[in-house]
Every structure is written in C-alpha cells, then in structure tokens.
Amino acid sequence: DTEVTQTPKHLVMGMTNKKSLKCEQHMGHRAMYWYKQKAKKPPELMFVYSYEKLSINESVPSRFSPECPNSSLLNLHLHALQPEDSALYLCASSQGPGLTNYGYTFGSGTRLTVV
C-alpha cells in the first residue's frame, strides 16, 4: 500500500458543528503532516507529527485540533469554524522527520466548506 487515504473527500459544515477529518497510511511512515490550501495558492503547513508527537504547530487557531492516535492515523478535529476556513485540507506523510528525501506522499485532500 503506497497511498495516503483521506476521508471524507468533501465536507460541508455549519459554524457550530464539530467534525473530524481522517488521514491514514500503511507505509510505515513516521512523519505525518496537515496542510491547508486555499484556491490558486500553494499549500500552507499547519501541523507536523513526528513519531506520533506534535513537533510543529504553525500558529494554527485552536478551533483546529490535531490528533495522532497511532503511527498510521492522523485526525484533524474541527470546531466552531469560520467561513474563511473553507479550503482543501491535505494530509501527507514521509518516512521520517528530516527524511524528505524518501517517500513523501500526499493524500487527495478533503474539500471543506463552512457555511
């Protein structure tokens, strides 16, 4: 299995809802990432997990809460989002922190719309 699987592919949520995005990989990668991509812009880093521990939080608002329950799974919990949070949320993984030479793989993303 050489894929990063993200679910759901599309999500519409109200500003008072709580939802979660899920990312899964079974390549044995020990670093996992969340990126946010607005239309016609490059992805922006949100969080990095290294060996299941949060190693980078790029000053992301607390309404986004990441979780890494095990080495294969990465979640992003969403609560009280704003319409400007609507974007494509991309998950990625690599063999390990600092080892961007090997196996950097992206998921197909979750298209989030906040209404």
Partner 1 sequence: KNEVEQSPQNLTAQEGEFITINCSYSVGISALHWLQQHPGGGIVSLFMLSSGKKKHGRLIATINIQEKHSSLHITASHPRDSAVYICAVPGGGGSQGNLIFGKGTKLSVKP
Binding interface with partner 1 (CB under 8 A): 6, 31, 33, 41-43, 45, 48, 50, 55-56, 88, 90, 92, 94, 96-102, 104-109, 111
User: CB of residue 111 vs partner 1: minimum separation in angstroms?
Assistant: 7
Show the tokens assigned to 29: 């990668």
Residue recorded with tokens 């607390």: 62
Nearer to partner 1, 71 or 106 (CB): 106
Residues 6+ apart with CB under 8 A from 62: none
Q: How far apart are CA 105 and CA 93, in angstroms?
A: 5
CB of 38 to partner 1, least distance (A): 12
